[in-house]
Amino acid sequence: MAEKILIIDDDVDTLRLVGLMLQRQGYEISAASNGSQGLAKALEEHPDLILLDVMMPDMDGYEVARRLRKNPATQAVPILMFTAKTQLDDKVTGFEVGADDYLTKPTHPTELQAHVKALLARSTQKEKNPSEVVTSLHERHGYVIGIISARGGLGVSSLASNLAAGIYSREQSDVILAELTPGQGTIGMDFGYQNPKGLTELLQGTVAEITREKVESSLSPHNSGVKLLLASGNPRDMSLTSQVQNYEALVTRLAALARFVILDMGSGLPSFVQKMLPMCNQCIVVVEGAASTIQHTKFLIDDIVDMKVDPKKISVVLNNRMRSETQMQMSQVQEKLGHSIAATLTPAPEAFQQAARLQTPIVVCQPTNMTSQQLLKLADLIIEREKQQ
């Protein structure tokens, strides 16, 4: 497969001439005429090399390079800066913001080709020798747990918030709980946040605008120790679920900000959830002991497996929210579902009502409650799997 080179330059002639020259050398070429477009294409297309002009009107090359280096998805992509500037200070600035090499315009085609080949060769060598990379994969990417159900009303948000708080209480490590259902947010209201807009603002912008800094500033602290990315409850925001590329960039940023990231994905398999699930280290499916829900959940698990998600990464939690003699026992649910049950939660409506009044998870306000203990055991299971990985 041909190596892809992204050229970011506001000069149309440069884009055409340099692109054509490199295309003739067998490279796949992509072009962007300004910095914002270049950042977006870098995230979407994952180029092997970026040729970056310094002098551009909307965002100069130095700022583009800074943002590329701050973004976990693009921080390792080689950058070759080229510009008409020849002063030493300009070159120093280029290297300081993350450029790997520097050429001044006009440059001879042979010289440009030589620099391109050298940068691509060094990049390939790094991939073959990952021990040379200073930042390890574990340090750069947290353990991502996606929580989902076949239909609404099964307690996905409640499980997500308690699991996040439980993991934090056990490990005292950074934990982020992200509610990914715009227009259907409940966690913010349950925890006393008025009109949360964190998720909405991230999904309304461009992919390039979803920087580490912006995502971090969108997080809200909670007394449980967990950091929250909250969805609004305004129904009109539901249209934002179509911003699939924004979701992909968002989860990448979140995974670089905490050891554990809990994703409340809501119910069903909309497009953004289908994109997120393969990015998760663990997928938790919530079910209740009712025949129709079990059948829907079986379909859901089959669909997730069809998306190339390893069945070993799928854990099922049986959440019996209300006391009812009609609900099936764990062994019956397991048999009908054809999948093992990782945890069973016993009904505790009074305890959950008290937690709601205190605007905190049940594992925080009543840690000795039987259901809290079951939730904490599930947290221990997730922690153990994270350590094994």
Which domain does 264 fall in, by range? 141-388
The last residue of one of the domains, among 88, 109, 132, is 132
As a whole number, mean pLDDT of residues 247-253 equals: 92
Sheet holding 4-8, edge to edge: 28-32, 4-8, 49-53, 79-83, 101-104
Rounded to 5°, angle at Cα 24 from 21 and 26 = 120
378 and 234 together in one domain: yes
146 and 125 within one domain: no
pLDDT attached to residue 161? 97
pLDDT (0 to 100) of residue 136: 33
| Tally of domains within the chain | 2
Q: What is the pLDDT of residues 105-164, one digit of tens each?
A: 777 888 888 899 989 987 765 554 443 333 333 334 799 999 999 999 999 999 999 999
Q: Could you tell me which residues come within 8 angstroms of residue 217 by beta carbon, excluding any fewer than 6 positions away?
A: none
Same domain membership, residue 270 and residue 124: no
Q: What is the pLDDT of residue 386?
A: 93
| Alpha-carbon distances of 131 from 111, 120, 125, 126, 128, rounded to whole Å | 31, 18, 11, 8, 9
Q: Which of 71, 101, 132 is the last residue of a domain?
A: 132
- The answer to whether 199 and 185 have CB atoms below 8 angstroms apart is yes
What Cα–Cα distance (Å) separates residue 209 from each residue in 34, 214, 280, 357?
A: 14, 8, 23, 37
Pair 320, 246 in one domain: yes
Q: Are residues 164 and 288 in the same domain?
A: yes
User: Which residue has 């397991």 as its token pair?
Assistant: 334
d(CA 191, CA 205): 26
Residues 321-344 have a mean pLDDT of 86
What pLDDT does 131 receive?
A: 39
Q: Are residues 332 and 214 in the same domain?
A: yes
Show which of 132, 163, 180 is a domain's final residue. 132
Residues 226 and 332 in one domain: yes
Burial grade of 90 (CB within 10 A; 0-12, 13-18, 19 or more): middle
Tokens representing 39?
Answer: 């950042």
HEC profile for 368-379?
Answer: CCHHHHHHHHHH
The reply to whether the predicted model has a pTM over 0.85 is no
Residues 265 and 376 in one domain: yes
One domain, residues 111 and 210: no
Residues 72 and 178 in one domain: no
48-103: per-residue pLDDT in tens?
Answer: 999 999 888 888 999 999 999 888 888 889 999 887 765 555 677 778 888 888 88
| pLDDT (average), residues 332-348 | 92
Is 388 buried (19+), middle (13-18) or exposed (0-12) by CB count in 10 A? exposed
How far is it, in rounded angstroms, from Cα 386 to Cα 60?
A: 41
User: Cα separation of 363 and 107, whole Å?
Assistant: 64
Percentage with pLDDT > 90 across the chain:
64
pLDDT value of residue 71: 85
* Least confident interval from 130-134, 141-145, 241-245, 336-340: 130-134
Closest of 253, 236, 56, 61 to residue 144, by C-alpha: 253
User: CA 253 → CA 70, 73, 197, 288, 309, distances in Å?
Assistant: 10, 8, 18, 33, 21
Asked whether residue 101 falls in the same domain as residue 149, the answer is: no
Question: How high is the pLDDT of residue 1?
Answer: 65
Pair 180, 267: CB distance under 8 Å: no
Co-location of 196 and 87 in the same domain: no
CATH label of the domain that carries residue 200: 3.40.50.300
Helical pair 330-337 and 291-306, crossing angle rounded to 10 deg: 50
Domain CATH number, residue 18 = 3.40.50.2300
Cα(231)–Cα(152) distance, integer angstroms: 16
Place of tokens 């969108």: 218
Q: Which of 361, 357, 359, 360 is nearest to 379 (CA)?
A: 361
pLDDT of residue 261: 97
Alpha carbons 351 and 362: distance in angstroms, whole number: 7
